[in-house]
Amino acid sequence: MLPVMALSASASVVVFATVVMVILGLLFAVGLALASEKLRVERDARIDRILGSLPGVNCAACGFQGCEAYAEAVVIAGAVTNGCVPGGADAAKLVAEIMGVEFVETEKMRAVVLCQGGKAECKERFQYDGEPDCRAAAGIMGGPKSCAYGCLGFGTCAAVCPFGAIRMGEDGLPDIDPDRCTACGVCVKTCPREIIKLLPARVHVWVACRNPDKGQAVKSICSKGCIACRLCVKADQKNAITMDGNLPSLNYDAGSDFLAAAEKCPQGCFFNEDTGCKVDEATQNVAEGLGAIP
């Protein structure tokens, strides 16, 4: 009888403990549910409305980790309503309307290429057989291009462009479609040589070279490189060009169209989007003489 009684008592203890645990579990669940309901923070409906007005490409050009983060920042932290670059003025107007603030228009931007050192213009130091990616190539002795500041030509910028605005030309340089470019800045951040820059869409002339050297040091590696001759500075009647080291810096708010400077450049370093950068025989002869500048 004693073993049976001991077993029965043990079973009762187990049953009692189980019942207590179930009751405690139910109490905790109810408590958590009540606390969750009481402490729950309502999501502001404006966040979803703003999110619906954005392109949804999550390019982070606004400075936040995607469209939802930007929408939350606008509603919760007071971020600017015109921060969505791909969305442009249309998105900015919608966001401003949702937030009940005045619409502030920003100047339309687009990406341009600051290099003309293609396959025919810039020599290679060695044959690269690695991954066809500019970032990977840059990690191997700085890349195969002789110019340490020029485009490596593997098309990484075209691969990452979320809008398909970049294609690689036969010359090995990026060709950016201004109509498809939204100035999201993804290509700018990706290029290891920093040869892509955002400029106002109204701009049609820019200096397409980033080599800070001058004279023969540049001419020996690239036929389109700036040799720091300063002829462009003298040619611009608006005084809108200054030298930043050995490279011309253009002030686009000074009222110059930079056409005179572009025509005077013996290397054809000024890229004129409307006409290209053809250098005639006379200016090329000048370039030959200036190439000896130390």
- The per-residue pLDDT for 63 is 87
Q: What is the pLDDT along the chain (294 residues), one digit of tens a residue?
A: 445 555 466 667 777 778 778 888 888 777 777 766 666 667 899 999 999 999 988 888 888 999 999 999 999 999 999 999 888 899 999 999 999 999 988 889 999 999 999 999 998 999 999 999 999 999 999 999 999 999 999 999 999 999 999 999 999 999 999 999 999 999 999 999 999 999 999 999 999 999 999 899 999 999 999 999 999 999 999 999 999 999 999 999 999 999 999 999 999 999 998 876 544 444 444 444 444 333
Distance separating alpha carbons of residues 26 and 33, to the nearest angstrom: 11
Q: Is 171 left (phi over 0), alpha (psi -120 to 50) or beta?
A: alpha
Domains and their CATH numbers in the chain? 45-99 (1.10.15.40), 109-202 (3.30.70.20), 204-294 (3.30.70)
- Residue 70's identity, in one-letter code, is Y
- The per-residue pLDDT for 20 is 77
pTM value is 0.75
For residue 33, report the phi and psi dihedrals to the nearest 5 degrees: -65, -45
Nearest to 232, CA basis, from 197, 283, 164: 283
Distance separating alpha carbons of residues 130 and 127, to the nearest angstrom: 9
Within 10 Å of residue 160's Cβ, how many Cβ atoms?
Answer: 14
> Whole-angstrom distance between the N-terminal and C-terminal Cα of the chain?
113
Instruction: Match 């919760």 to its residue by tokens.
Output: 76
How does strand 205-207 pair with strand 241-244? unpaired
- The per-residue pLDDT for 8 is 64
Size of the chain in residues: 294
Instruction: Match 């919608």 to its residue by tokens.
Output: 94
- The per-residue pLDDT for 30 is 79
